[in-house]
Amino acid sequence: MASPASANMNAVRETMDVLLEISRLLNTGLDMESLSICVRLCEQGINPEALSSVIKELRKASDSLKASENGTSQG
Amino acid sequence: MAHWSRFEKELELETRRLISHYTSIQDEEDQNFQMALKFAWSNFKFHRFLDANRHNVQRSINGIHEKLMVHSDLSKAESWLRLTEEFLSSPLPNTEGTKTEVHYSVLALLLNLSDSPSNTNYCERPRLKETEKEDKFDWAKYLMEGEDIDTGPFPDTPEWSEDESEEEDSQQPLSREDSGIQVDRTPQEDHEQNDKTIQVTWTVGEPDSRAWLEQHIVTSYWVPNSPRFPHSLHLHSNLYNVWDQHLYNTGPLYLPEEKSFVTETQVIRETLWLFSGVKKLFIFQLNDGKVTVRNDVVVTHLTNNCLHSVLEHIAAYGQAVTRLQKFIDEVTGHSAEPCPPGLNSSSSSSSKKSSDPPFRTYQAFVWALYKYFTSFKEELNTIEKDIIAKDETVTLSSVLERLSPHLAQITMLHRVFCTGVADVPPGTPNVLRASHLLNTLYKAIIEYDSVGEASEQSVSVALLFSLWVETVRPYLEIVDEWIVHGHLFDPAKEFIIQRNKDVPVNHRDFWYATYTLYSVSETVESEERLSDAASGSSGGEQASSSRQHTMVSFLKPVLKQIIMAGKSMQLLKNLDCKETEQPDDAERKSLYTLFLESVQTRLRHGEDSPTNTVTEQQATKKSLIKMQSIVARHLELDDIHDPLLAINFTRLYLEQNDFHEKFSGSNVILDRSSESVTCQTFELTLRSCLYPHIERRYIECCGNLMRTLKKDYMLLEYLQAMRNYFLLEAGDTMYDFYTAIFDKVLEKESWQQLAFLNVQLQEAVGQRHPEDSSRLSIFLETIDPARKKQPVNNLDGLTLSYKVPWPVDIVISSECQKIYNQVFLLLLQIKWAKYSLDTLRFSDLTVAAKRQEGGQSEESTAKEPINQQIHRMFLLRVKLMHFVNSLHNYIMTRVVSCHLHDDVHVIFDASIQVTVSLQVSFVKEAIMKVLNLVLIFSDRWQAGFGAWKIESIDKMESDFKNCHMFLVTILNKAVCRGSFPHCKSYSAVKYFYLVRMH
């Protein structure tokens, strides 16, 4: 068992915890999973503003989709 | 898209995840999904945003902080700054280094996504609280580092962990909950998951548990220069620093020293360890049995002096505990190596003290101590558990408060131990050690007992009493063995009475020289050896009165009984008579058991003396209890200590609490709480619980012995023989003997020839009692010539001796014969006086007078006529005869008339009573004077008229008159007063009457 690697894992987990706290404080509405996806995307060089706009759009679209689904199912 | 790089593939994967996460469309071929994917890709690739700028991000962070400060969201602002700072300095999964562009871009993303953190208070609050909770938890962890925390589950916030473990298991199997702490759950989960997960869980768990351990391990404060444990910066918890600072500021010469900081919990724990006998401690140090407090130990919230004054106090108790513990270890450690008792006892004096195994009294004492310490340690354990449980605040003072009754008891025990055991100089024989210990305990009980019924004292007395009861056990067992089986089994020589080895049982000295009584003088620890010759049968009181403050005090009142019973029993065993078979040993209760049972009965029923209360109580028990308690309270208020009342009250309370249940159990262990009643009247308890058993046994033993002696060994016959010859009861036989002597004396021949005397005796005895002739013999003792002056002492030195076979010679001993001889001599003297008066003939005097008349008429005419003188002589003779006859009658009837009593002692007492009464010196002197006068008179009479002067008649008359008057007055007074115990009043009256008639 490589202890540096595991120590790193542990540190990363700590980082993610902190990040989740920040996200909660800022009221971003991100959960742990989306947050980790976002972090990985950012690490791959995705522009944060672009990412944020995509997320916002996806939320909006998803909301409208759900609303329309609800509407159709109700209708 | 056929030639995508690996990077692009990963990007694509992540994007798909993002979309599926947000849109919850699982089917990637779905039209909407594809649309979303396209949209995302186009946005990612073809956007017009600038790259994330760290300065901008930092500015935004500061701006948000400022905004939060403006909104007075201080806690949120503080958390915000700290969290961002922490994040920026933390590593990211696939990025090396901290504070990289990626960090800032992630922050920028969050900032972009943020939905007005300051304004949305309503939705912020619960989340904010969580943040704060997280905060608090962090602090607590931080503060309590170095404390021993119970190994419970790691107190993470549950929501997160569930999120992690359930939702992210596939991605991040690094759940905190899998850190191996919840051992029970992990295997079940593992069972459901695949092998890989098991491995990952396990590997990740290790550092977690290590981290946990690191957090919870106690700071090694015992190591020099150990790291300081973190603690609160609150003023109250830094009193030491404040004071130190003050000293530093005010005193220019003040030099701060290196100190070891400990927490109060650590101090408490070390205190508990010290009390439970741990020897190697940091705060308390043990040097040569002395417990000292380390100087450089401080706690942050107390000043040095304050802490040390408390710790010194504890150290003193700790020292007592250590000392007692050491003693227990010494004694119990010895028993590990078995040593045959017989072997040891023979060589105990020569061998070293340390190699001697502890004797039974010490062992019993240690056992009692051990039992006490067990309960004490239970208490200590409870306290330690309380500390671990953390349900309540445990402070040093509260612990001391809680332990204070125990500590008082330990102080008392230590004091008893010091006086009773530790202060005894080495090399002291076991008997002194044992009896000294018992005495110390006894005195301590009496002492504490007399202090009164104060609540703490009564507990102490109860403890002492239980200690005493335990410690006394070997002694009582020895006594029991002795008085029941006649076997003084005491291999370690600890009992106050010890057998002299060289005297066999069937020797005539057995009764008088077999046992040695050791006694401990209280003032000086010197050893006194008192042979119990005196305490054998008659003179026990004299011996015991000379040693007032010696011996084992509690046995003193029954010591004589014990000795007598023991010796009787041993003798009986050796006489091997069938009738005195003991009941089966299995059925028989030992003395110790009997004693315990009596104590219990006494505890149950209290005393019998206040019977009124008991009956009343039965009638109206409830009201009485109420009344008594009120009275008791009043008594307390008035500060009255009335033991009898207190006993009654306590008994009432005892009956209230199911006291019977406590004691109905089969084992005979005494409950300490209830013993205060007994201890109140400790001596009374002994008197009613212990002594009667010994007394009963004594009576039984001695009765048995007496019966055996009478039945199988003809004791009574021998006694009758003694009376026959010494007390002249066999009048005709003895008459032959003594008249032969008297005749010789009258004829002025020498009678002091052994051969002549023996022949006379054998002739006289052989005719009528041939069986005794071989036993009887006569001796002449040489007496100092000073006593021979008086004619009445002429017979002194004549000693009869009667050979009594063993074992009857125990009763009729040589001492006893000596007294018999005194009586014999007195009787002979009276007989002689009577004989010499009886043998006087009137003719002797008248014939001589007639012869005288012719020769010396002128002389006689000058004085009185001769006839008148002769008449005076006759008169005097009659007076003397009357006196001697009354005396003779009185004494002989007293002697002869005392018929056979059952008890040898009574017989003996009765027969010597006369002598003793005559021993009363002045009476005896007067009687002796008269007897002397009689002899002189008869001498002169026989010498004939004219051989003496007329004045001598006057003198004899006046002498007799004086003596007579004296006796009359004395006896008169004695009879009136009734204080002449040796003369039975009727005899005295008789005598008195006879004499006065004259």
pLDDT, residue B679, reads: 46
Question: In the predicted model, is pLDDT for residue B88 greater than 80?
Answer: yes
Instruction: Verify whether the Cβ–Cβ distance B105 to A41 is below 8 Å.
Output: no
Instruction: Verify whether the Cβ–Cβ distance B163 to A32 is below 8 Å.
Output: yes
Q: Searching chain A, which residue's CA lies closest to the CA of residue B45?
A: A46
Contact status, residue B433 vs residue B422, Cβ threshold 8 Å? no
Higher-confidence residue of B501 and B467: namely B467
| Contact map slice: B 149-178 vs A, CB within 8 A | 160, 163-164, 167-168, 171-172, 174, 176
Contact status, residue B872 vs residue B891, Cβ threshold 8 Å? no
CA distance B210 to B216: 10
Q: Sort out which chain A residues have CB atoms less than 8 A from B163's CB and list them.
A: 31-32
pLDDT, residue B510, reads: 66
pLDDT, residue B644, reads: 54
B382-419: b (≥16 Cβ within 10 Å) or e = ebbebbeeeeeebebeebbebbeebbbbbebbbebbeb
pLDDT, residue B733, reads: 80
Task: Please give the angle made by the CA atoms of B951, B955 and B958, to the nearest 5 degrees.
Answer: 135
pTM for this entry? 0.53
CA-based nearest distance B227→chain A, Å? 24
Which of B180-189, B512-521, B838-847 tops mean pLDDT?
B838-847
Read off the pLDDT band of B194 (50, 70, 90). very low
B720-741: b (≥16 Cβ within 10 Å) or e = ebbbbbbbbbbeebbebbbbbb
Instruction: Verify whether the Cβ–Cβ distance B114 to A28 is below 8 Å.
Output: yes
Q: Is A1 on the interface with B (CB under 8 A)?
A: yes
Question: In the predicted model, is pLDDT for residue A27 greater than 70?
Answer: yes
Q: Sort out which chain A residues have CB atoms less than 8 A from B67's CB and list them.
A: none
Query: Mutate which of B9, B10, B22 to disrupt the A interface (most A C-beta within 10 Å)?
Result: B22
The CA-to-CA distance between both ends of chain B, in Å, stands at 169
Segment B507-534, tens digit of pLDDT:
666 666 666 666 544 433 333 344 333 3
Residues whose CB falls within 8 Å of the CB of residue B233, separated by 6 or more in sequence, listed in order? none
Query: Mutate which of B32, B79, B110 to disrupt the A interface (most A C-beta within 10 Å)?
Result: B110
Nearest in space to B137 (alpha carbons), one of B150, B154, B159: B154
pLDDT, residue B678, reads: 44
What's the mean pLDDT in A11-38? 85
Query: Mutate which of A31, A37, A59, A63 to disrupt the B interface (most B C-beta within 10 Å)?
Result: A37
Read off the pLDDT band of B180 (50, 70, 90). very low
The alpha carbon dihedral of B863, B868, B873, B877 has a sign of: negative
Residues whose CB falls within 8 Å of the CB of residue B681, separated by 6 or more in sequence, listed in order? B449, B607, B643, B647
Read off the pLDDT band of B744 (50, 70, 90). confident
Q: Sort out which chain B residues have CB atoms less than 8 A from A27's CB and list them.
A: 114-117, 120, 123-124, 127
Q: Which of B224-238, B541-555, B792-806 has the lowest mean pLDDT?
A: B541-555
pLDDT, residue B946, reads: 65
- Looking at the partner chain, which of A25, A33, A42 has a beta carbon nearest the beta carbon of B105? A42
CA-based nearest distance B170→chain A, Å? 11
Q: Is B849 on the interface with A (CB under 8 A)?
A: no
- Partner residues linked to B499 by β-bridges: B515
Q: Which of A41-45, B102-106, B201-205, B393-397 has the lowest mean pLDDT?
A: B201-205
CA-based nearest distance A72→chain B, Å? 16
Segment B27-55, tens digit of pLDDT:
888 888 888 888 888 888 888 888 888 88
Helices (H) and strands (E) in chain A, counts: 3, 0
Segment B934-945, tens digit of pLDDT:
888 887 777 766
Query: Mutate which of B30, B60, B84, B113 to disrupt the A interface (most A C-beta within 10 Å)?
Result: B113
Q: Is B329 on the interface with A (CB under 8 A)?
A: no
Nearest in space to B362 (alpha carbons), one of B476, B479, B494, B460: B494
CA distance A39 to A36: 5
Q: Is B138 on the interface with A (CB under 8 A)?
A: no
| A–B interface: beta-carbon pairs under 8 A | 191
Structural domain boundaries, residue A17: 4-71
Q: Does domain B713-839 have CATH number 2.60.120.10?
A: no
**Sheet of B515-520, strand order:** B497-499, B515-520, B527-531
Question: What mean pLDDT, rounded, does chain B reach?
Answer: 69
- Residue B630 has φ and ψ, to the nearest 5°, of -65, -45
Q: What share of chain A is helix, strand, coil (3-state, %, to 5)?
A: 85, 0, 15
- Our count of domains for chain A comes to 1
Q: Is A67 on the interface with B (CB under 8 A)?
A: no
- Looking at the partner chain, which of B36, B40, B124 has a beta carbon nearest the beta carbon of A27? B124
What's the mean pLDDT in A36-40? 88
Segment B300-357, tens digit of pLDDT:
888 888 888 889 989 999 888 888 888 888 888 754 444 433 333 333 333 334 445 6
Q: Is A43 on the interface with B (CB under 8 A)?
A: yes
Q: What share of chain B is helix, strand, coil (3-state, %, to 5)?
A: 65, 5, 30
Question: In the predicted model, is pLDDT for residue B408 greater than 80?
Answer: yes
In percent, how much of chain B has pLDDT > 70? 62
* Cβ neighbour number for residue B440 with a 10 Å cutoff: 22
Higher-confidence residue of B982 and B727: namely B727
What residues does CATH 1.20.120.1900 cover in chain B? 713-839
Residues whose CB falls within 8 Å of the CB of residue B204, separated by 6 or more in sequence, listed in order? A6, A9, A10, B173, B174, B178, B179
- Looking at the partner chain, which of A12, A20, A27 has a beta carbon nearest the beta carbon of B93? A12
**Helical pair B455-471 and B360-389, crossing angle rounded to 10 deg:** 140
